[in-house]
Amino acid sequence: MRSSSNTSRYGLRTDCWALTISAANTIIKTLPSKQFPPDFIFGAATAAYQIEGAWDADGRGPSIWDHLVHTDPEHITNKDNGDVAANSYYNYKRDIEMLKELGVSHYRFSISWTRILPFGRAHYINQRGIDHYNKFIDELLANDIVPFATIYHWDLPQILQEHGGWLNEEIVDWFADYARIVFENFGDRIKFWMTINEPWVHCYFSYGYAVYAPKIRSPGVGFYECGRNMLLANARAYHIYNDEFRSTQGGKVGIDLNSEYVYPASDSIEDIEAAKDYLAFQFGQYMHPIFSKSGNYPQRLIHRVAAASTAQGYNSSRLRSFDEDQINYIKGTADFLGLNHYFTKYVYRNSSVIGMFDVPSTDDDTFADSYMDESWPSTHAPWIREHGPGLHHLLVHIKDSYDNPEVYIAENGVSTTTGLNDPTRVSYYRSYLRAVLEALADGCNVHGYFAWSLMDNFEWNFGYSHRFGLYEVDFQDPNRTRTPRKSAFVYREIIRSRTIDYEYDPDPYAGGSSVLTSSLLVLAIVVVAGLFS
């Protein structure tokens, strides 16, 4: 239990976020062992463009990522692309075998918009795409794996981008038509839906800073327009499900939001306010309109963008407001929160921030900069350092600020290079799963955890240079052979025992996936023997 209302179990003051991180890192290793609840969900996650391949097979149309990698290959590390990727379109049965080997109960995947609607709109439905996902979903269920589907994971049909993409308000209608089709065709078997994956990341890097497809640079206007349309699109899809499908299908619809956690760099008022602004501009931009009791954007976000817009000579705020009907239409449009979390930062605001950012931009509107503690373990990904307590604090923040909604950790993981021995990933998973246990002990309403990722995949601009997989994929092999890494064995053991055993040290080279399969067979024999003893 907490030692006081303003202090977490790590001795970290949550009222003003004056934090003793070194103490947290020491204490977390000595906490008594705890178990995950019997009904806590363990899963693995992927996304369509990153693993499926078969980019032009069976009537699939081109997405914005197909367009980018084919027209500007130099933009991607090693000129990699997702044309074949892990070839999961054809290897999906092996993927499901891997899920069985791990012992997960749920699989988070995304549906490719362009497989279903090659021309983006509902006037032509590709039956071969429908057939593929029907086979895939049926195979999951036949193996007792619950499908957890994302409707949109960044693979917008290129033809819709040519009409403005997420900067065109009509996309709310386009997305609604697409969502209705997947509900109609798959909702009898899919009971967990997430509408949109990481809207902040997609808008920031795709329509703000021209890093991801479709490479639109508009960090102070397009970024906000993209987000506004995504909130309205999520709401439309939610209401469609609620009005037309919920009574017969009985599923749930959520949204998948990313968030870092942030600590103020000092106990100064400036740094504390900077940390609050940072969370409001990233997480709060989407969380507050949907999950808060009042709805709408956070007031500090509204005020800061309006003030900056006025100072820059705009006649109105670059953050277009919602009217009262829209606020109420968006509020409450998620049955649960999918949360993607990878890292934590320190945030500060002082004179050094002046002139640092583009004007106008969301970064300049926030007017804060960040850094990571170099004492936190580094990883192959320069943007990720391991700091599990940050996830715990984020979950407590969600509980305290948004009436403790139902939460699923929809993505959490770290990249390595090639090789089966991945101690960095093992340490990372243990640290963040420990944080989930602590959040559960603090009363956070966390229902599940999905490891990112089931297998190595096309990691957007980084191509295949960053490997996030529990399973290594041999991209030089036409068969795209998958082999479990050490982290796969460790994750499997956590799922089996529902505890985190820091002493468990499997050898990933002692037989590959056959070891996983053999271990599961031995466990099954023991269970069956117990039934007849």
Q: What is the pLDDT of residues 302-338, one digit of tens each?
A: 999 999 999 999 999 999 999 999 999 999 999 999 9
Q: What is the pLDDT of residues 458-469, one digit of tens each?
A: 999 999 999 999
Note down pLDDT in tens along the chain; length 533 residues: 223 333 332 333 333 344 433 333 433 444 445 899 999 999 999 999 999 999 999 999 999 999 999 999 999 999 999 999 999 999 999 999 999 999 999 999 999 999 999 999 999 999 999 999 999 999 999 999 999 999 999 999 999 999 999 999 999 999 999 999 999 999 999 999 999 999 999 999 999 999 999 999 999 999 999 999 999 999 999 999 999 999 999 999 999 999 999 999 999 999 999 999 999 999 999 999 999 999 999 999 999 999 999 999 999 999 999 999 999 999 999 999 999 999 999 999 999 999 999 999 999 999 999 999 999 999 999 999 999 999 999 999 999 999 999 999 999 999 999 999 999 999 999 999 999 999 999 999 999 999 999 999 999 999 999 999 999 999 999 999 999 999 999 999 999 999 999 999 999 998 655 556 555 554 444 444 444 44
DSSP state of 276: H
- Asked if residue 466 lies in contact with residue 449, where contact means CB atoms within 8 angstroms, the answer is no
Alpha carbon distances (Å) from 458 to 75, 80, 187 = 14, 8, 28
101 is catalytic: no
Look at residue 34 in the predicted model and tell me its pLDDT: 85
**H helices of 357-482, where?**
362-366, 389-401, 423-441
Q: Which of 52, 101, 198, 472 is catalytic?
A: 198
CA distance 376 to 373: 6
CA distance 9 to 36: 18
CA distance 18 to 228: 33
Structural tokens at position 282 = 């990233």
Structural tokens at position 284 = 């709060």
225 is catalytic: no
Structural tokens at position 472 = 């290594």
- Asked if residue 257 lies in contact with residue 339, where contact means CB atoms within 8 angstroms, the answer is yes
Q: What is the pLDDT of residues 148-205, one digit of tens each?
A: 999 999 999 999 999 999 999 999 999 999 999 999 999 999 999 999 999 999 999 9
CA distance 18 to 459: 35
Give first-to-last CA distance, the chain, whole Å.
41
Residue ranges and CATH numbers for the domains of the chain are 35-531 (3.20.20.80)
| DSSP letter for each residue of 155-182 | --BHHHHTTTGGGSTTHHHHHHHHHHHH
CA distance 367 to 304: 9
- Asked if residue 467 lies in contact with residue 86, where contact means CB atoms within 8 angstroms, the answer is no
Look at residue 512 in the predicted model and tell me its pLDDT: 52
The H helix count followed by the E strand count for the chain is 20, 13
**H helices of 170-254, where?**
171-186, 199-202, 222-244, 246-249
Q: Which of 101, 225, 386, 411 is catalytic?
A: 411
